[in-house]
Amino acid sequence: MSELEQRVIWRRGEGGYHTYRIPALVKTGVGTLLAFCEGRKDGGGDAGTITLLLKRSEDGGVSWSDTQVVVSQDGMTCGNPCPVVDRDTGTIWMPFCKNLTDGPETMICEGKAPRTVWLTKSDDDGHSWSEPIEITQDVKDPSWTWYATGPGHGIQLQSGRLLIPCDHMIGVYMDRKRDPYHSHVIYSDDHGQSWKMGGIVQNGT
């Protein structure tokens, strides 16, 4: 048995970003590996200017492409990439979340800043990505404050359903330290054309 080999895909402080976090990895229908992460410009924390990045490997992870920007927006934190590959169509779907750079998690949980859910896709093996569309109204209950897709990647069930893990906080006390915190899923039964809220796990997950 051969030894496992390690490849550094992104290194902290290189490439114009302070920190790289929240990784996700998928294999496309033609065998390409797509590695996603957040590129954090302002520091290692969850707030500030954050961009969604991608590198591609067509040789099983031996070598990787240059960094590609998938989503970036001035004044916004764009994070929590959670890609899933539709084996039937070849489309790579990537839900993610946005909030204002000056409206971090504490303010979101206090109801003083928005946290929204978005979706982009690639139909050419990850080379290019569609203009993101907002799906907040379909997958986020109005009583929820904080929301995150992932971390990690989604899966496709044998039925064809696309399934994305998420979590959220319910605005009861409007306090991130006291409000109920749950895991949940969102799903699509029409190859990513529409998305719905699925099951919700008990508080504390």
| Residue range 153-199, pLDDT digits in tens | 999 999 999 999 999 999 999 999 999 999 999 999 999 999 999 99
Output phi, psi for 105, to 5 deg.
-55, -40
Q: Find out whether 189 and 161 touch, Cβ atoms under 8 Å.
A: yes
Instruction: Write down the pLDDT at residue 5.
Output: 84
d(CA 133, CA 11): 30
| Helices and strands: H and E segment counts in the chain | 2, 14
Note the pLDDT tens digit of each residue in 48-62: 999 999 999 999 999
- Above 50 in pLDDT, residue 1? no
pLDDT per residue as tens digits for the range 121-145: 999 999 999 999 999 999 999 999 9
pLDDT at position 3: 75
CA distances from 151 to 14, 35, 81, 141 (A): 23, 13, 7, 20
Q: Using CB atoms within 10 A of its CB, is residue 51 exposed (0-12), middle (13-18) or buried (19+)?
A: buried
Q: Please give the model's pTM, rounded to 2 decimal places.
A: 0.96
Report long-range pairs for 57-63 (Cβ below 8 Å, ≥24 apart).
57/32, 57/33, 58/31, 58/32, 58/33, 60/31, 60/33, 61/7, 61/33, 62/7
